[in-house]
Structure 1
Amino acid sequence: MQLRQYEDLLARVAVDLQRYLIGRGAQREVAEDICQDVFIKVLEMELVLPPHELRPYLYRVAWSTYLDYYRRTQRYRQLVTQYLQPDYHRTDIKMNDELLMALNKLPPRDRHLLLLRYDQELPILEVAAQLQVKPAAVKMRLHRMHRKLEKILRRGSYERE
């Protein structure tokens, strides 16, 4: 098979793979990201498969990657629902007292950022637009807050740093 034919085959498989993932419940953006990740993995592995083995292999890798993404997303939603509800005093949610105290010690600006990202489930770009900062700044602030919360919880001290 010529290189150009192989590239055309890969392009068709990429489109079919996206349709497959969307048909199985993935959002379009997620399906596109997963397809890109799958092809990057294959390129990094320098895996050369015959055309009749390529399609099944890519479908298996794409499906397992999507399942990993789905499980991770569900776990994040569960944690957000459990720990970051805007009304901390709801009786139907039993929040970890230590985490509640740590969250209450965060500055209001940080709590607002956490609520935008995890409670309202806004993408990084929308959070950045609302806060009028760059997306990289949002990511860095979230990373720092996660580290700060972890440090507070590990130390058991609820004093503002």
Structure 2
Amino acid sequence: MRNELINDMFKKKMNLIYKYLVKLGCNQDSAEDIVQDTFYKALKYIDGIQTDKVSAWLFKVAINKYYDLCRKNNRHVHLNIDEEIFKESLTDRKLVEDFILDEERKKEILDTLNSISEIHKNLLFFKYDMCLSYKEIAELLEINENTVKTYLFRAREQFKKLWRDKYEER
């Protein structure tokens, strides 16, 4: 049972945590180090972690390590959109103007995302970038599923309001 839990943690959760850290703005080397440290800590304290709370525990440890790194380097946390995926979504038929407009729109989206509260930004990221279900998000954050739905509604509303205020005035 213990080996199955360790395999489950490593295969499913660590890749997800790595992606999340990179999206938060962590460079790949630091993200790998944080994931490795998190996994080591999980192995060290495996007997003290409740089986149903492993995901939330891993995420909290990794995120706290990332925030410690940010404080150490005196930087702010900003979401990033994967450049490669973004560029691959462009088709050959698009003109340079379209590419520039897409780049501007991406910057506007990032600016808006980075203007909203951390919890709302994280919820939007979990739901729409990582495609997690309400239940999975609730497990990760150790909150009720209905609370996730409420917070996500508020996050979408906050994003829409900021978007309208900034970009629909033009």
TM range, normalised to the smaller chain? 0.3 to 0.5
> How does the TM-score come out when normalised to structure 2?
0.39
* TM-score with structure 1 setting the length: 0.41
* Highest RCO, 1 vs 2 (Cα 8 Å, sep ≥ 6): 2
Structure whose CA Rg is larger: 1
